[in-house]
Amino acid sequence: ARMLLSDLLRHELGLTGTHVGCEHGVCGACTVRIDGMTARACLTLAAQVEGARIETVESLAPAPDRLSVLQAAFRRHHALQCGFCTAGILMSLDTLLADEPQADKARIREVLSGHLCRCTGYAPILAAACEAAEALRQEVAHA
């Protein structure tokens, strides 16, 4: 009855991409989407989301052998080192780019401010996000 969504995902469902860093909703590592909106899984009771659509980092790739545009940009820019924060950052940025296709560097930085990364210094993450945003805008323009 008091199981956290992060524990349900990791321990009951085996979706281990969602990490738990601070257990206080500050670091952003546990970010998931609940009915299309980002949320901290470490602050959300599993019972609160019964019947809701939950998306984790495992859902981002369009196929098992293919990365999303954002994931591919992260790979090209080496936007992760230890990888602990990456899933939460990807979830927030993927949501941003879907909701706000015209997001600029300042808006991307604003979204990244809700995440702690001790390895990268954020520059490669920002570069990857900006590249993905432009690529997604081009996809829409040519569709």
Please tell me the predicted confidence (pLDDT) of residue 22: 92
Which domains are delineated in the chain? 5-141 (1.10.150.120)
Give residue-wise pLDDT tens across range 34-72: 999 999 999 999 999 999 999 999 999 999 999 999 999
Q: Please, are residues 25 and 43 in contact by the beta-carbon 8 Å criterion?
A: yes
How far is it, in rounded angstroms, from Cα 31 to Cα 89? 7
Q: What is the pLDDT of residue 143?
A: 78
pLDDT at 141 over 90: no
Alpha carbons 100 and 33: distance in angstroms, whole number: 16
